[in-house]
Amino acid sequence: MPIPKPRADQNEEDYIGFCMADPTMNADYPDNSQRYAICIGTWQDKNKTITEGVNQMDAIKEILPKLKPNKRIFADLSITDSPDDGTFHEHGADAWKNYSVGIVWVEDFSDFVLRSKGFQVF
């Protein structure tokens, strides 16, 4: 069954508590140790890139159809139709809202990555 995914506004402690208390997780994994291992593993995997273990084209095909011209995508791959109002979120749980892109940028960047066959960030 679906394992709850960490949200951008959750810290590790909040996510683990949320995951451990999830009714589906409790039903599927009644053993606390097993459920905890799954929750902590999911938390630790949250920063893996979408293309780890996935063909780049498959990842692009999965994301681009969800990202319509009036939408923005955040680093956690959540998509919103709220326009960017220019607010700068300096600190705290909302700082992740500073980083979003639209479909044009994603298409341009995807094209760059595919043509360059990868790149290195320093």
Q: Residues 6 or more apart from 19 whose CB is under 8 A from it?
A: 3, 4, 25, 35, 38, 39, 42, 43
pLDDT tens by residue, 69-96? 888 888 777 788 888 888 888 877 778 7
Q: With a cut of 80, say whether residue 20 has pLDDT above it.
A: yes
> Is the pTM of the predicted complex or chain greater than 0.75?
no
pLDDT tens by residue, 92-108? 777 877 888 888 888 78
Residue 122: per-residue pLDDT: 57
| More confident: 25 or 46 | 25
- Across the beta sheet with 79-80, the strand order is 79-80, 72-74, 100-101
Q: What is the mean pLDDT of the chain?
A: 80
